[in-house]
Amino acid sequence: MNAKQLKMLRIIFIVLLILLVFFIYNFTKKVRRFDESNEYFRQPIGSQKVELWMTPHQIKRVYHIDIERILGKKIGPFSMENPLSDYCNKNKGLDCESLLIQLNSLKNGH
């Protein structure tokens, strides 16, 4: 193997290392989010509140709220991981605070 080929391989190695750091960072972020969610949902349901970090599907499943009707859109499989905050940030007509108040009152109504 000549010096030029070895240099190319070293560059590829460094690129892979950067990618590895990026993927590990994202992986640990996801694992932490997963762990925190599990921890939160283990609490008695009476002490839980609808939070902005929750996904619409979690809100629908755990608190039996028709979240799609409230948000005015269907939640597809590729956006299931998006937190509630994404939906009230993207739509300017949907205020996050009043959305939370509405969802928590619906939750307490069950």
Partner 1 sequence: MDINILTFFEENMYVFLLFIPFIGQLGIPSGSIFFLLFAGSLSSDWRTLCILGIIGTISAILGDATGYLLGKRFFQINIIQKQLKKENIQKIYTDTCAYFKKEGKFAIFITRFLVVTPAPYLNYIIGLQKFDFAIFMRLVVIGEILYVGELLLLGFIFKDTFEYLTSIISYLGIILVVLYCMYLLGKVIFKPIQTTDV
Angle at 16 between CA 11 and CA 20, to 5 degrees: 150
Distance CA 29, CA 73 (A): 27
Q: Considering only the stretches 53-61, 84-92, 93-101, 102-110, report the one whose residues sit in contact with partner 1 under the rule CB under 8 A.
A: 53-61
Question: Binding to partner 1 by residue 45, rule CB under 8 A?
Answer: no
Closer of 80 and 101 to partner 1 (Cβ): 80
Question: Binding to partner 1 by residue 55, rule CB under 8 A?
Answer: yes
Question: Binding to partner 1 by residue 53, rule CB under 8 A?
Answer: no
Contacts of 60 (CB under 8 A, 6+ apart): 66, 67, 68
Contacts of 105 (CB under 8 A, 6+ apart): none
**Contact footprint for partner 1 (CB under 8 A):** 1, 6, 9-10, 12-13, 16-17, 19-20, 23-24, 26-27, 30-31, 33-34, 37-38, 41, 55, 57-58, 61-62, 68, 74-78, 80-81
